[in-house]
Chain A
Amino acid sequence: MKTDDMRDDERPLDCDVVTALVPTYVDGEVAGSVASSVRQHLIACGPCRLAVQDESALRQWFVPTDEIPVPQGFAARVVSAAMAGRDASANDAPVPSVRSDARPRASREGFTLVPPAPGPALAGSTVATHDDRTRSFAMVMTAVAAAVIIAVTLVIAAQSRLGVNTPDLDASEPLDIRLETLDAQNEALESAAGEGTDATEESDR
C-alpha cells in the first residue's frame, strides 16, 4: 500500500514491474533497494514467485563444462612464436606453429601438402629402384594436385551457383556489428542452400 511519505524505492512494486525485473533479479543485477522491494513483493505474490522459479529453472541448463587442460609449455611456445613473428615480420615469413606435435598448420591462404609416406613393398615384387620410387612419387603428387584442382573448381562453381557474397568480417568493427554481420551471412547461406536443395528436388522429379 503506497503512502505519500514513502520514497520511490520504498513503494511496493506491482506485478508488471516485478515480472519485467525477474530475469535481471535472478541474475543478481538489480540494485539493492529495488531488489529488496522485489523480495517483498515475492513474499506475497505466488504468480511472480513462479515466474522467478521458471527463470531459475532455465539457468539450470547452463552447467560448467569439463576444462580442457592447458598444454604443458603453451605460454612459452606462444611467446617464442610472438618473438619469432616480430623478428620475421620484416621478411614476411610465416609464424611457426606452437603446437607440441609441430605438425604443419593450415595457413589461411591454403593447405600445406605433406608428401605421403612410401608404402610397404608388395609381397613377391622385386625391390624398387630409386628411379622407380621417384617416378611413383611424382605420379602420386600429380594425382593429388589434380584432385585439389578439381575440388577447388567444384567449390568455386558451387559458390557461383549459390550467388552468395561473403565479405570478410572487418576486425576493426565493433564486436556487436561483427556478430550481426556473421548472423546475416549465415542466414543467407542457409537460404541459398535451401533454394539449391529445392531446385535439385524439382529436377529429380
Chain B
Amino acid sequence: MQSHSASEDADLVQATLAGDGTAFEALIERYQRRLFGLVRHYTRNATEVEDIVQDTLLKAYSRLDSYQQTAAFYTWLYRIAVNTILDFMKRKGRSPVHAVEDPEIVGRSETGASDATTQRLSIRPDARLERDEIAGITRSIMDELPEIFRTVLVMRELEQMAYQDIAETLEISIGTVESRLFRARARFKQKLLQLHPEFAAGVEA
C-alpha cells in the first residue's frame, strides 16, 4: 500500500496533536483522494461519499492520540474509514427485496465443497463491454455479497492492497486473508454466473 513517508506522517500527527490545524489539513490532503476512492466502492451518491469521508476524518481527529505508530498511518485511517462505512451501511439497512442467495449454492460454498461446474467455467468480461458497463455489473454483484466478502474484495481487487496490509487493517492473519479471498471470489463467481450466465464459457476439465 503506497503511502507517504511514515516519519512525515508521524510529524504531522504530532503537530496536529499539539493544536496545529495546518498540520491536520496537510494530513487530510495527503489521503483525501484515497478515502473518496474507497468510499466510492460502497456508494455512488456524491453527498453520501463526502459525508462518510468527513465523518471518518473527524473520528480520526478525535482519536488521534490513540494512534500508535506500530502501523502505517493510512492503515489506521483506513480501518476508521471502513468502520464508518459499516455504520453507514447499517443505518442504510440492506433492502429486503434483495434476492436471498440460493441456499443450495450457499450451502456448497459454506461447506467449501468444490463445485466442478463453477470451478472450471472461465468467466471473463465480454470484449464488447465498455469499462463502465463492466464496473456496473461488478458493483451490482458486490452489493449482493456479504460485507465480510465485499470488504476483502474491495481491499484486494479495487484498492490493490497487499495481503499484509489487509491483514493489518482487519487484524486477521495472512492465512485468513487468503482463505477469505478464496471464498469471496468463489461467491462473486457464483453470483456472476447466476445473474449473467451469458458470460460463462465452458472449459473442458
Q: Mark B16-31, 1 if CB is under 8 A from A, else 0.
A: 0000011011001100
- Name the distance in Å between A194's Cβ and chain B's nearest Cβ: 6
Instruction: Please provide the chain A residues from 158 to 182 with a CB less than 8 Å away from any CB of chain B in the complex.
Output: 166, 169, 171, 174-176, 178-180, 182
User: B24 near A82 (CB under 8 angstroms)?
Assistant: yes
| Cross-chain contact A63 with B148 (CB below 8 angstroms) | no
Using a CB-CB cutoff of 8 Å, which residues 119-174 of chain B contact chain A?
120-125, 131-132, 134-135, 137-139, 146-148, 151, 153, 156-158, 162-163, 169-172
Q: How does the 8 Å CB contact mask read for A63-90 relative to B, with 1 for contact and 0 for none?
A: 1111110110011101101110110000
The answer, yes or no, to whether B57 is at the interface (CB within 8 Å) is: yes
Q: Is A11 interfacial (CB 8 A cutoff)?
A: no
Contact: B169 with A61, CB < 8 Å? no
User: Does A189 interact with chain B (Cβ within 8 Å)?
Assistant: yes
User: Are B98 and A67 touching (Cβ within 8 A)?
Assistant: no
| Contact B90 A23, beta carbon cutoff 8 Å | no
Stretch at the interface among A32-40, A50-58, A111-119, A136-144: A50-58
Which A residues contact B (CB, under 8 angstroms)?
A: 23-24, 27, 29, 50, 53-54, 57-68, 70-71, 74-76, 78-79, 81-83, 85-86, 95, 98-99, 105, 108, 166, 169, 171, 174-176, 178-180, 182-183, 185-186, 189-191, 193-194, 197
Interfacial residues, chain B to chain A (CB-CB below 8 A): 21-22, 24-25, 28-29, 32-33, 36-37, 40-41, 46-47, 49-51, 53-54, 57-58, 61-62, 79, 82-83, 86-87, 89-91, 93-94, 96, 98, 100, 120-125, 131-132, 134-135, 137-139, 146-148, 151, 153, 156-158, 162-163, 169-172, 178, 181-182, 185, 188-189, 192, 203
